[in-house]
Structure 1
Amino acid sequence: MTDIMTGGCQCRRVRYAVKVADGEAYLCHCNYCKRATGGVSIAFKNVRQADVDWTASPPDYYQSSPIAKRPFCAACGTPLGFQFLDSENMDLTVGSFDDPARFRPTSNFSIETALEAWMDVTNLPGKRLDEHAAAVDRWMNAVGKLPD
């Protein structure tokens, strides 16, 4: 079922609406993506460029390699995606969607540079934000509530 999903950057200057047909997404482990995001991998949803409507300010772009460019917000720095220079498709960062819970990783890309220690974190201990007193105090003092 095709839905219109929305998303954008952290400061909300750049916003988009996009047609999404399914919940399939993938993780890219290439060194370009690691450096572009500062992460150990990045989750992407592949979509047709023609199905993306930049509804607020359009994103800024930089050419991240000889074959690709990346949309981002110059105001807050949020990475918004990836697109080959010669493709009709593009990738949007799963984390930039307003409701990323719809997506599930169905594949890994560039596995030759994957950081194996970060591939399965399901058995690591976890802590909720509201259990971290210092972080709670910072949020409450700054804005009077915890972030959504």
Structure 2
Amino acid sequence: MTSTYSGGCQCGAVRFRVSGPLKDASICHCRMCQKAFGGYYAPLVSVRGTDFEWTRGTRKIFRSSNVVSRGFCGDCGTPLTYEAPDGVAVAAGAFDDPAAFPPTTQFGIECRIAFVDHLHELPGHPTEEDLEQAPYLADIVSYQHPDHDTADWPDQGLEP
């Protein structure tokens, strides 16, 4: 039996499907990945050797170097792919169930930011704890695409 996974961008304009084994999940700490994801590192899942297809919309491409291109949603900006001569990797957080892909290795560790190794030591707070300081949180209506495929999805949240 072949496993099938789906995912897409935050606004739902771009969606994808992967059929086949996904076993190469990683984190990249290189400076290009930090900038591309706007984070301390980039969590990626290789789709090499699988049946990968775009099921809705078209990603935009930014060529971040002479050998790597990065796909993203042109509407909401969600990072989607890392595309190199040896294959494509998809942003782990773009999958509908990102918890299914725990990383097994790290790349670009020469650029790893030291405090990343200690993030788990920070105090954690559920969103509800912020209601007194930020009461608007109680009235949030999410315009984010749900974590499953839909026949269509309105352009919610996009500024004209």
TM-score category (smaller protein): 0.7 to 0.9
- Once residues 43 and 100 of structure 1 are traced to their aligned partners in structure 2, the CA distance between those partners, rounded to angstroms, is 10
Bigger share in strand = 1
* 1:130 and 2:128 are equivalent in the alignment: yes
Distance in structure 2 (CA, Å) of the matches to 1:82 and 1:49: 15
Moved more, 43-52 or 135-144: 135-144
Of the three residues 111, 114, 118, the one matched with 2:112 is: 114
SS at match of 1:80: strand
CA distance change for structure 1 residues 136 and 10 in 2, over 3 Å: closer, same or farther? farther
Conservation of the 8 A alpha-carbon contact between 1:49 and 1:90: no
Residue 63 of structure 1 corresponds to: 63
- Deviation of the 1:25 alpha carbon: 1.1
- Normalising to structure 2: TM-score of the pair? 0.80
TM-score under structure 1 length normalisation: 0.86
Q: In structure 2, give the amino acid aligned to 1:129.
A: T
Distance 2:118 2:53 in 1: 35
Q: What percent of counterpart residues are identical?
A: 35
Over the aligned positions, Cα root-mean-square deviation in angstroms equals 2.4
Structure 2, gaps ≥5 residues long: 147-160
Task: Please show how residues 1-148 of structure 1 align to structure 2 within 5 Å.
Answer: 2-48=2-48, 51-84=51-84, 86-87=85-86, 89-133=87-131, 137-143=135-141
Deviation at 1:92, TM superposition (A): 0.4
Partners of 2:29 and 2:133 lie apart in 1 by 30
Aligned length: 144
Amino acid at match of 2:121: N
SS at match of 2:18: strand
Q: Which runs of 4+ in 1 moved over 6 A?
A: none
Aligned-partner SS, 1:48: coil
Deviations 1:54-91 (A, max 9, x none): 0001211111111110110010000001011x23x211
Secondary structure in 1 aligned to 2:120?
Answer: coil
**Which whole-Å CA distance do the structure 1 matches of 2:133 and 2:17 have between them?**
32
